[in-house]
Amino acid sequence: MPAIRVTKTEAEPVKRRLKKLGLYDGKRRPKREGEFVLLPVPEDERVYSLGYEVLPLELPLRPERQLYKNLESVLTGRLSEEELKHLRRYDIVGDIAIIQVPRELSHRVDDIVWGLRKVHPFIRVVAQKGFHEGAFRIREYSIIWGERRLETVHKENGVRIKVDLSKAFFNPRMKGERYRLAQLVRDGERILIPFAGVLPYALVIARYKRVKITAVELNREAYELGLENIELNRERLRGEIEFIHGDVFDVLPELPAHDRVISPTPRGVDALALTLDRAEKWLHYYDFVHEADVGAFRTRILDACAMLGKECEVRVKKVSDFKPHVFKVCADVRIR
């Protein structure tokens, strides 16, 4: 990818011009070089006819792209171009790297582990992930390098989350979503979190807001990790967390309504009517929806509101890709 070299005073107006022309590569970071600034541009012949100095160099990717790209770049030369195309996105949970190795790369596992350790020297375990299993949504993992454990402490949004991937569900990719919710919450709210897992949502919200949270989880091992997590973060939390071990479908009908309910619903479980019934002002309901069914999902929520005599506004937000054409979504339901 080339870069355009301009003086510091020219940098802002030139950047604006490039953006207008669709010739600014926002995935990369500009770089200062003495009195000059290097602006990232795509490989496009129009770049050479703008009258600026164009240099053939590769500016660094911004952090969110870097994670994957760095692995790709350290493996360039070891893996063929064709093999590099099969590299999948991976996750880092604490000091564990979690990867998927497609069939096409099964003979390259050692190189991939080598690359991961080069990009993330702190990792102590590399695990290959399988599918989520059963009601507790625990994945199958096989450790392919390092210490024989799946327990670690993950840092996210200013909290420490102890997880054991062999015993309880945890998804580091929901970090941004947890932060989004923490920003929506106001001090003083009473919040109910069914399907709470090891408490990532509760911890992040209580870290930032003075709230009272009641969380419910059925998996005994996730529940115990959650209790440990409350202690681990005790000094950091502004809010309070009460954690109940039990089945959401038994526990929720016994609980009072709360200002806000956050339901990270496991796939295939329908807890819409139950969670909506316990919500006074807001429900954030997660589900997995085919892109063609988003409208029907919204209608289903509006119907459930009508059944409960609640007047609601519903906004459905795509949270992540799940599989082709199917998304994990969050319905933000405002109850009037």
Ligand X SMILES: C[S@@+](CC[C@H](N)C(=O)[O-])C[C@H]1O[C@@H](n2cnc3c(N)ncnc32)[C@H](O)[C@@H]1O
Q: Under the rule (CB under 6 A), what is the footprint of ligand X?
A: 135-137, 168-171, 174, 195-197, 200-201, 216-219, 222, 247-249, 264, 266
DSSP 172-200: GGGHHHHHHHHHH--TT-EEEESS-TTSH
Nearer to ligand X, 50 or 269 (CB): 269
Both tokens assigned to 160: 């420490």
Minimum CB–partner distance for residue 328 and ligand X (Å): 9
Within 13 Å and on the Cβ side, how many CA atoms surround 84? 15
Q: Minimal CA–CA distance to 197: which of 176, 168, 174?
A: 168
Nearer to ligand X, 15 or 258 (CB): 258
- In terms of C-beta distances under 8 Å and separation of at least 24 residues, what long-range contacts does 162-165 make, across chains too? 162/198, 162/225, 162/228, 162/229, 162/232, 163/93, 163/94, 163/198, 163/225, 164/221, 164/225, 165/93, 165/96, 165/98, 165/127, 165/138, 165/139, 165/141
Minimum CB–partner distance for residue 223 and ligand X (Å): 9
Nearer to ligand X, 25 or 224 (CB): 224
The answer for residues whose C-beta is within 8 angstroms of residue 271's C-beta and 6 or more apart is: 194, 195, 248, 249, 263, 265
Nearer to ligand X, 30 or 197 (CB): 197
Minimum CB–partner distance for residue 332 and ligand X (Å): 17
Minimum CB–partner distance for residue 329 and ligand X (Å): 14
Element (H, E) at 154: strand 151-156
The answer for residues whose C-beta is within 8 angstroms of residue 178's C-beta and 6 or more apart is: 156, 157, 200, 201, 204, 205
Nearer to ligand X, 195 or 297 (CB): 195
Point out the residue whose Cβ comes nearest to ligand X.
Answer: 197
3-state secondary structure of 317: strand
Nearer to ligand X, 149 or 245 (CB): 245
Minimum CB–partner distance for residue 196 and ligand X (Å): 5
Minimum CB–partner distance for residue 208 and ligand X (Å): 17
Taking the CB of residue 204, how many other CB atoms lie within 10 A of it? 25
Q: Minimal CA–CA distance to 156: which of 238, 225, 93, 250?
A: 93
Nearer to ligand X, 196 or 261 (CB): 196
Minimum CB–partner distance for residue 297 and ligand X (Å): 17
Minimum CB–partner distance for residue 87 and ligand X (Å): 26
Nearer to ligand X, 52 or 208 (CB): 208
